[in-house]
Amino acid sequence: MLMGLGYGCSSVIYRTAAADLFAGRHFVKVFGLIGVGFGLGASLGSAMAGVAFAHFQPYRPAFYLTIGLMLASIVGIWIAAPRTARRAVETLASTPAPRPAR
C-alpha cells in the first residue's frame, strides 16, 4: 500500500519539477525526453539487476548502483534548479469575470 501511494505521488512531483525548471515552449520536448528516460530505466533496470546478480550473486551491487543513480538525480535537479522564486502569472481563467451592471 505504501509503495502504491509513494509511486502515485512521484508522478506529480516529476511533472511539477520539470514544469518549474523547463517552463516555456520547449517543455513538451523536455517532458517527452524524461518519459523516454523512465521507459528505458523501467525496461533495462530489471535486466541489468539480473545480469549483476548472475555475475556477483547477491543483489547488493545492483542496490548500490540504484542508490548512486538516485543520488546523482537529486544532485542534477538541485544544480538545475532556479535560484530565485518565480512570480505567478495571472491568466484570464484565474481572474473573475466582471459582473454585469444592474
Tens of pLDDT, residue by residue over 21-62, are 777 788 888 888 888 988 888 888 888 888 888 888 888 888
Q: Of all residues in the chain, what percent are helix, strand and coil, respectively (each to 5)?
A: 70, 0, 30
Higher pLDDT, 76 or 88: 76
The CA distances from residue 50 to 59, 61, 70, 72, in Å, are: 8, 11, 19, 22
Note whether 34 and 14 are within 8 A (CB). yes
Confidence check: pLDDT of 89 > 60: no
Rg (CA), the chain: 20
Predicted structure pTM score: 0.55
pLDDT for 91 beyond 60: no
pLDDT at 13 over 70: yes
pLDDT over 90 percentage in the chain: 3
pLDDT band per the 50, 70, 90 thresholds, residue 71: very high
